[in-house]
Amino acid sequence: MNLRSAVAGAVLIAFCPLVIACSSTSTISDKPTIPLEEESISERRSGVMEVFNSCMKNKGYETFLGRPDPNGDSTEPQNQSGYIEALQICDSQSGMSSLQNEFAESRAERTPEQIKEQNIAILETLECLRSKGWNFEDPLPDENGSLNLRFLRNQDNEFDLSEARECMTSLGRRIGP
């Protein structure tokens, strides 16, 4: 046996198991699979917000300063290039704008009964906040008749989301799709 035949035999022996393993047919298990339940937008929101807020803090912004206004004063904090860049990076990392778009779509698909139920929950939450000393005017409905806590501010132009959540929890309510 010459050297060439010996090398060819060694190569064949080394690669034969690999060829057999790659060419063998595998079958998908006949066991039934249970689809995983998708998280709701509300459930995903907390994870997305955590990633977004953590990213913003790492970029030097402890709080959300607001949406940039392309026609606004460039000296306003939310219109400064560093903040805008941080928003873009953190949105990319967290998927915040995608989730916001999905949330807007889900709100548009609500039935009149769902809107009414959520409006009642919002008004109950406002009453709870008022009992804690907050002074709010009632929110105005949007084009679909929906009320929204997002745009409410007290006399100091503040809104404490953690207190609103405490009120919703104490009332056994959930606001959102």
Does 60 or 66 have the greater pLDDT score?
60
Q: Across residues 136-152, what is the average pLDDT?
A: 77
pLDDT of amino acid 85: 95
pLDDT of amino acid 29: 52
pLDDT of amino acid 104: 78
SS3 content of the chain, % helix, strand, coil (to 5): 55, 0, 45
Q: Across residues 126-148, what is the average pLDDT?
A: 83
137 band by pLDDT with thresholds 50, 70 and 90: confident
pLDDT of amino acid 55: 93
Rounded-to-integer distance, Cα 144 and Cα 108, Å: 8
- The amino acid occupying position 136 is F
Contact (CB, 8 A) for 172 and 148: no
For 83-99, b/e burial (b = at least 16 CB within 10 A) is beebbeebbeebebeeb
Output the average pLDDT for the chain: 75
Structure token pair of residue 77: 């904090």
- Which ranges constitute the DSSP H helices of 28-111? 41-58, 81-94, 96-108
Does residue 59 register a pLDDT over 60? yes
pLDDT of amino acid 13: 43
Please state the φ and ψ torsions of residue 84, each to the nearest 5 degrees.
Answer: -60, -40
Q: Across residues 158-177, what is the average pLDDT?
A: 72
pLDDT of amino acid 60: 94
Tens digits of per-residue pLDDT, 67-115? 899 898 888 888 999 999 999 999 999 998 888 888 778 777 888 998 9
Answering whether pTM is above 0.75, one says: no
20 band by pLDDT with thresholds 50, 70 and 90: very low
Rounded-to-integer distance, Cα 175 and Cα 119, Å: 9
